[in-house]
Structure 1
Amino acid sequence: METVDEVDAPQVRQCPECGATVSVHARFVSWCAACDWNVDPGAPDPDRGRLAAYRKRLARRYGQQLAEEIERSGQEARRVGPDGSTVLAFGVSLLVHSVSGGLLLAAGLLIIGGWHTRILPVFGIVLLIAVATLLPRPGRLPKGAPVLYRADAPRLFELIDEVGAAVGTTGVHAVALDTAHNAWVSTYGIRNRRVMCLGAGLWEVLSPQERVALLGHELGHFANGDVRSSFVMHGALRTLARWYYFLVPHPLDSLLDLCVNTLVFLPRWAVYGLIVLLDGLTLRASQRAEYLADAGAARAGSTVAAVTLMDRLLIGDAVEAHLRRASMTAPEASGGSRGREAREAAERELWERLAARIGSVPESEYERLRRVSARRGHSVDDTHPPTHLRRRCLASAGPHPARVVCDASRTRSIAAELAPARARLARTVIRYNAD
């Protein structure tokens, strides 16, 4: 049987552009490190709409500016107090909420004051329902995702507590898991309890210290704050997004559609302008929050682990491709005990196979992805700084030793605690064919 190393054993060829030696791997793009021949053979990622493209351009610009400031100082990112842009952004957010409050008051007046007309309360109820969808509300735990509490995974929560102390905050109340190549933190409930979501597509391909760095980054958002995640600002952005969605023009199938589109034209562009304004006022602070969170990752897990974590963020496409293949090649639902054993084995081995697959990625491929990242401005989403700038700032800020060490014993204990959730997520990835 061929091993992964035998199948992927590199061969050598000459670069057609400069004649330099090029390593050829069967599973990876062949490219030249000397002249960048074929370094980026794919098409750039398409922008998802006008607003996403605008946010991405703004994130690149602010990310570049902050990266240059950090590199000039020779130190990690530092927290700064609220500036004029932040104060103005909160003012705009309060204006948005005041409009929602005014509409809510108007709905109440229509229902109560126009009760004798019979028709006005109907308009009031319709307006009340519409406003109810726009009002800010507490966050919720992810639906359908495995959620762990402290009693379910004491060693994992112990690690999170230690990382939180290292970055200057406390831990979380719940940990949710999904299959994504990502991680995030938020709050839920009226008491603003903390939740961290760990994507197995990312967690399973990280080394123990890279996992500590990941936890440090996510908890760093709680330690340093982020103006866009505050209840007032987040609620305003959510309200504006819903307004914009409701005001999207209808296809012109009738004269009524033309009339409706004409009526909503100015309100829609006013809402769009407010979204652009809030983005412009808050994205720089949000970018700084990401750099601050990266500094927390370095302090908790070490600079080396935080830097290599940035590299792991670049292989999301490879992770998603592997999970898609696992889904398509899963055993069929029928087949008796032998088929059932095959399905159970596929579930057990899914994450181990993913880790082995990603673990076999050569350094040359990571270097290619880093260069592609610099060309395209790769980022986690359209509000994050470009990943290559985050990596560069971490490397330039000076080495940090790990304040929290995840040894082999702790790694095994946490893996045992996560085993039921990992199996459940594996079943969601492997979609069996019907009988």
Structure 2
Amino acid sequence: MRTVEEGALRACPECGGPLPEHGRFTAWCAGCDWNVDPEGGREEPAGRGERIRRRLAERHGERLLADLTADGVPVRLDAFGVLSFTLALAVHAVTVVLLVCGALLLAGASGFWSVVGGLLALGAAWTLRPRLGRLPRDGIVLRRADAPELYALVDEVGRAVGTRGVDAIVVDAEFNASVSTLGVRRRMLTLGVPLWEVLTPRERVALLGHELGHFVNGDTRHGLVVGSALRSLTVWHDYFQPYPRPGDIFEVVTNLLLLPFRYATGALLTLLDLVALRASQRCEYLADAAAARAGSTGAAVALMDRFLVADPVEIALRREVNARRMNGRGRRGAEAAGAGLWEALAEYAADVPESEYERRRRVGALRGHSVDSTHPPTHLRRQCLLRTAREAGTVVTDGAGEGRIAAELAEARARVARELVRDGLDGT
């Protein structure tokens, strides 16, 4: 990767145009795209299945962009959403059938094999049961009493996008945010401190609008029925894993007997995943629209740009953590070394120049960058927001409220910093 030391290079070797002079970032030419992508090539995630899903995400994303910008916001649940919901109900119907058959076999048991069959059916129903979401055991959970101002902001954003707030907020160390269901009706919002700390107040509102927007637009993947069906099928598919190196005739026969069940569950899992993926693509566009309604179109677009620079920001975080780990010794050392971590990260993010954002936008369009395979490519999401009517944003925070939210998060952000310094990041 070619980088520019301050004042070292001023003209593009291809067209002679000016080059940005930022020593920490790649030198490139905005006029002819010289060195815009020094690593070259498309992003290719590991795993054949994930690569297929990424390509489908890009293909669906382009079609959905055309549909959304041509026809406006569609109905709440499209045909793919209905199909994924139907397939998920079929999975849960199998669970009900197994449960009923097991109960009937045991109730009318007339011999040993009736009891065995009933127990097997009940055991199968138990393993295929819907897995309901739950609070993380090792997460930092903030209740309403812990963070009333933050919950009030989430509630206000929820009203702006047409839904209610959440029942629990979890804080972690990921450069991400997400929503999920707890049990049948309760909702959980997960906020990653590294992401939250590098956002402006308007971008934070847009982030909350995007996440809560998933509860508004019929996002089946985030719902109880489809989400639990995907988890149940994944468990079954894992159960039918063959012995990797069968050592005797029993294991060989077992592999042969498991083969049709593994193919059947694998095919159904793939089908439901792909159908839900198509519906999820559409819902991401609609969640972006919710982000714009809450925080403004400009804030929603800027939020996407933050994810484009996620890699260098996470590298900067890793560097800061490693430096503090070397300086800290023991628990007290880790606590002291964690001080100032988020301020240093926010300062780094604030110093990323506009030229680097623009370079990564162009690279994203070349490579088909997306947050993950459930999201349309970022450049298409950006285009969708910029092609539709501009939103001014309905939720506006003030300095006093932002200060109170910061105070409510102070203990959680300090704890995350201490744990990162004490335990390190993955791979450090």
1:232 has 2:225 as partner: yes
Residue 96 of structure 2 corresponds to 101
Residue 139 of structure 1 corresponds to 133
Q: CA deviation at 1:64?
A: 0.8
Residue 356 of structure 1 corresponds to 347
> Residue 152 of structure 1 is aligned with which of 146, 151, 167?
146
Gaps of 5+ in 2: none
- 1:48-75 CA-partner distances (Å, limit 9, x unpaired): 42332222222211111111223335xx
- 1:251-296 CA-partner distances (Å, limit 9, x unpaired): 2242444333322222222222222322343333222211111111
Residue 382 of structure 2 corresponds to 391
Question: Measured at CA, do residues 182 and 405 of structure 1 come closer, stay the same or move farther in structure 2, by a change above 3 Å?
Answer: same
Residue 50 of structure 2 corresponds to 52
Q: Percent identity?
A: 51
Residue 417 of structure 2 corresponds to 426
Does the 8 A contact of 1:137 with 1:235 survive in 2?
yes
Question: Measured at CA, do residues 52 and 106 of structure 1 come closer, stay the same or move farther in structure 2, by a change above 3 Å?
Answer: farther
Question: Measured at CA, do residues 83 and 204 of structure 1 come closer, stay the same or move farther in structure 2, by a change above 3 Å?
Answer: closer
- 1:60-91 CA-partner distances (Å, limit 9, x unpaired): 11111111223335xxx514154444433333
Residue 33 of structure 1 corresponds to 30
Residue 299 of structure 2 corresponds to 305
Q: CA deviation at 1:160?
A: 1.1
Question: Measured at CA, do residues 344 and 427 of structure 1 come closer, stay the same or move farther in structure 2, by a change above 3 Å?
Answer: closer
Give the SS at the match of 1:147. strand
Give the SS at the match of 1:27. coil
Superposition TM-score, scaled by structure 1 size: 0.88
> Residue 213 of structure 1 is aligned with which of 190, 206, 209?
206
Question: Measured at CA, do residues 404 and 108 of structure 1 come closer, stay the same or move farther in structure 2, by a change above 3 Å?
Answer: same
Question: Measured at CA, do residues 220 and 427 of structure 1 come closer, stay the same or move farther in structure 2, by a change above 3 Å?
Answer: same
Give the SS at the match of 2:64. helix
Question: Measured at CA, do residues 331 and 186 of structure 1 come closer, stay the same or move farther in structure 2, by a change above 3 Å?
Answer: closer
Q: CA deviation at 1:102?
A: 3.1
Does the 8 A contact of 2:69 with 2:384 survive in 1?
yes
> Residue 415 of structure 1 is aligned with which of 401, 406, 418?
406
> Residue 61 of structure 2 is aligned with which of 60, 63, 67?
63
Does the 8 A contact of 1:11 with 1:25 survive in 2?
no
Residue 72 of structure 1 corresponds to 70
Question: Measured at CA, do residues 122 and 25 of structure 1 come closer, stay the same or move farther in structure 2, by a change above 3 Å?
Answer: farther
Does the 8 A contact of 1:10 with 1:23 survive in 2?
no
Does the 8 A contact of 1:79 with 1:292 survive in 2?
no
> Residue 10 of structure 2 is aligned with which of 10, 13, 19?
13
Question: Measured at CA, do residues 182 and 12 of structure 1 come closer, stay the same or move farther in structure 2, by a change above 3 Å?
Answer: same
1:180 has 2:178 as partner: no
Q: CA deviation at 1:243?
A: 1.9
Q: Which moved more, 1:42-51 or 1:212-221?
A: 42-51
Question: Measured at CA, do residues 327 and 356 of structure 1 come closer, stay the same or move farther in structure 2, by a change above 3 Å?
Answer: same
Does the 8 A contact of 1:205 with 1:354 survive in 2?
yes
- 1:284-309 CA-partner distances (Å, limit 9, x unpaired): 32222111111111111111111100
> Residue 262 of structure 1 is aligned with which of 241, 248, 256?
256
Residue 4 of structure 1 corresponds to none
> Residue 204 of structure 1 is aligned with which of 197, 207, 223?
197
CA distance in structure 1 between the aligned counterparts of 2:7 and 2:403, rounded to whole angstroms:
33
CA distance in structure 1 between the aligned counterparts of 2:418 and 2:93, rounded to whole angstroms:
46
CA distance in structure 2 between the aligned counterparts of 1:318 and 1:382, rounded to whole angstroms:
21
Give the SS at the match of 1:177. strand
Superposition TM-score, scaled by structure 2 size: 0.89
1:252 has 2:245 as partner: yes
Does the 8 A contact of 2:157 with 2:294 survive in 1?
yes
CA distance in structure 2 between the aligned counterparts of 1:371 and 1:102, rounded to whole angstroms:
52
Give the SS at the match of 2:9. strand
CA distance in structure 1 between the aligned counterparts of 2:186 and 2:43, rounded to whole angstroms:
36
Residue 293 of structure 1 corresponds to 287
Give the SS at the match of 2:320. helix
Corresponding letter in the other structure for 2:63: Q
CA distance in structure 2 between the aligned counterparts of 1:263 and 1:125, rounded to whole angstroms:
20
Does the 8 A contact of 1:79 with 1:224 survive in 2?
no
1:314 has 2:308 as partner: yes
RMSD: 2.6
Question: Measured at CA, do residues 9 and 126 of structure 1 come closer, stay the same or move farther in structure 2, by a change above 3 Å?
Answer: farther
Does the 8 A contact of 1:323 with 1:429 survive in 2?
no
CA distance in structure 1 between the aligned counterparts of 2:150 and 2:258, rounded to whole angstroms:
50
Question: Measured at CA, do residues 120 and 68 of structure 1 come closer, stay the same or move farther in structure 2, by a change above 3 Å?
Answer: same
Gaps of 5+ in 1: 1-6
Give the SS at the match of 1:431. helix
Residue 3 of structure 1 corresponds to none
- 1:226-249 CA-partner distances (Å, limit 9, x unpaired): 122332222221122222222233
Give the SS at the match of 2:50. helix
Q: CA deviation at 1:189?
A: 2.9
Equivalenced residues, count: 419
Q: Which moved more, 1:206-215 or 1:385-394?
A: 385-394
Give the SS at the match of 2:270. helix
Residue 325 of structure 1 corresponds to 319
Q: CA deviation at 1:24?
A: 4.0
CA distance in structure 1 between the aligned counterparts of 2:65 and 2:178, rounded to whole angstroms:
22
CA distance in structure 2 between the aligned counterparts of 1:364 and 1:10, rounded to whole angstroms:
16
